[in-house]
Amino acid sequence: MTAVAAPKLAAAMRSQAVLGLGLVVISLTAAGLVLLATGVNPLRAYVEILRSAFGSVDALSEDLVYATPVILTALSVILAFRCGLWNIGADGQLYLGAIAAVGLGFNHVDLPGPLLLPAMIVGAFVAGAAWAAIPALLRLRFGASEVIVTLMMNFLAVTLATYLIGGPWASGITPATGPIAPAGFLPSLVPGTRVNANLLVALAAAAGLAFVMKRTVFGYRVRTIGANIHAARFAGMNVDRVRFLSFAGAGGLAGLAGFGEVAGIYHDLPNGLSPGYGYTGIVVALLARLDPLWAVVVAFALGALNVGSGGMQRALGVPVSLVSIIEALLILLILGTRLMERRT
């Protein structure tokens, strides 16, 4: 680092710190005003959020349980965004991964126990990738908007899952499929909590994607296409092939999120499996500035916010909708700050 660069970096960091602090103050004030208007003491609410999110091993584990699928859907969104495509369909791809994981998890083909989990994880990735390949093909062959196609395919995926839950795979007891074989259960990372080995899969995927994007030829091509598709074509890159593979890979990553929910949390496929993890992944990807490693941090922070605000709701008896308003307010403010940064 040169003597000239060091002060510049320090000044940039100071500016970031001031911006971050300002953001926190504005967010807390805005959320506090909403709380005050409904007769809730904001300070008590913030203490409850922190306590519920970080106050015990259980609380921390639930932050991670929430973060795990969100990391994977965020990575899915990042991979597609990086090569200039919008993947709004991570939720549907998650469902396809879950469907494949459950279908294989029943183990009707009598796979040996140790092979079942690998088969489920591969099956979930392939199912998610295949589901994403459809909008990718439509985009690349016919120019169909991947935003609209992936969005519509989310509904198709949920409908397919609902059909299986109420039809051929119905448990007959609850609105869920029958259970998968015990050999298909992911082990818990912390006994007595729901944190399971899919967290490691998610972290490995984040590290892997960061490596691919920064250190491989494929990653370079993806970044180049995302930055300037015409320049990439001019440079002789097979743009369509790279975009197709990226989008299918993005679907595969979201499929892994579905695998984790089935093998690690539910051990079946319930009605209402995803409370919108695919859409939350978009928020995380944007907040993380399309950086796979930052996506892990942001997903955890969002998990903590979700778990913490849920705990606050239960402790103070405030309406659930108020919690949603506060969460949305914080996210909007962060995104707004990003926008301001770009303009300055």
Partner 1 sequence: MTMTMPTALLAGTAMLCTTTAWAKDVKVAFIPCGQINDGSWSEAGYIGVKTAKDNLAKAGITMTIDSSESLSPSQAEVAARDYAKRGYQTVVLHCGTFADAAYNAGKDFPNTNFLIAVAPKSVKNVWTYTPAMQDISFIAGYLAAKMSKTGGVGVVASFNFSNITWQAEGFRLGARYGKPGIKTFSTYINSFDDAGKAKEAAQAEIDAGADVIYSATDQASRGIYAAAETNDALAIASYSDQSQLSPKTVLTSALANIPLLLDTMVEGSVNGSLTPDKPYAVGMAGGIGALAMNPALVKTIPADVLATVQTLTADIKTGKLKIPALSEPGKSEQYDLATLKAH
Residues in the site for partner 1, rule: CB under 8 A?
A: 52, 58, 62, 65-66, 162-163, 165-167, 170-176, 192, 194, 261, 265-268, 270-275, 307, 310-311, 313-315, 317, 320
Instruction: Give the nearest distance from C-beta 173 to partner 1 in angstroms.
Output: 5
Nearer to partner 1, 192 or 236 (CB): 192
Beta bridge partners of 177: 170
Nearer to partner 1, 249 or 308 (CB): 308
Instruction: Give the nearest distance from C-beta 62 to partner 1 in angstroms.
Output: 5
Instruction: Give the nearest distance from C-beta 296 to partner 1 in angstroms.
Output: 19
CB under 8 Å, gap of 24 or more: what pairs does 235-244 form?
Answer: 240/140, 242/83, 242/218, 243/83, 243/84, 243/85, 243/136, 243/139, 243/140, 244/133, 244/136, 244/137, 244/140
Encode burial over 93-117: b for 16+ CB neighbours within 10 A, e otherwise: bbbbbbbbbbbbbbbeeebeeeebb
Tokens matching residue 12: 């940039």
Nearer to partner 1, 93 or 224 (CB): 93
Nearer to partner 1, 83 or 262 (CB): 262
Nearer to partner 1, 64 or 250 (CB): 64
Nearer to partner 1, 7 or 168 (CB): 168
Instruction: In whole angstroms, give the CA distance from residue 22 to residue 286.
Output: 20
Instruction: Give the nearest distance from C-beta 275 to partner 1 in angstroms.
Output: 4
* Closest among 93, 85, 38 to 69, alpha carbons compared: 93
What are the distances in angstroms from CA 56 to CA 44, 101, 308? 18, 32, 12
Q: Are 275 and 83 in contact (CB under 8 A)?
A: no
Instruction: Give the nearest distance from C-beta 36 to partner 1 in angstroms.
Output: 21
Instruction: Give the nearest distance from C-beta 278 to partner 1 in angstroms.
Output: 13
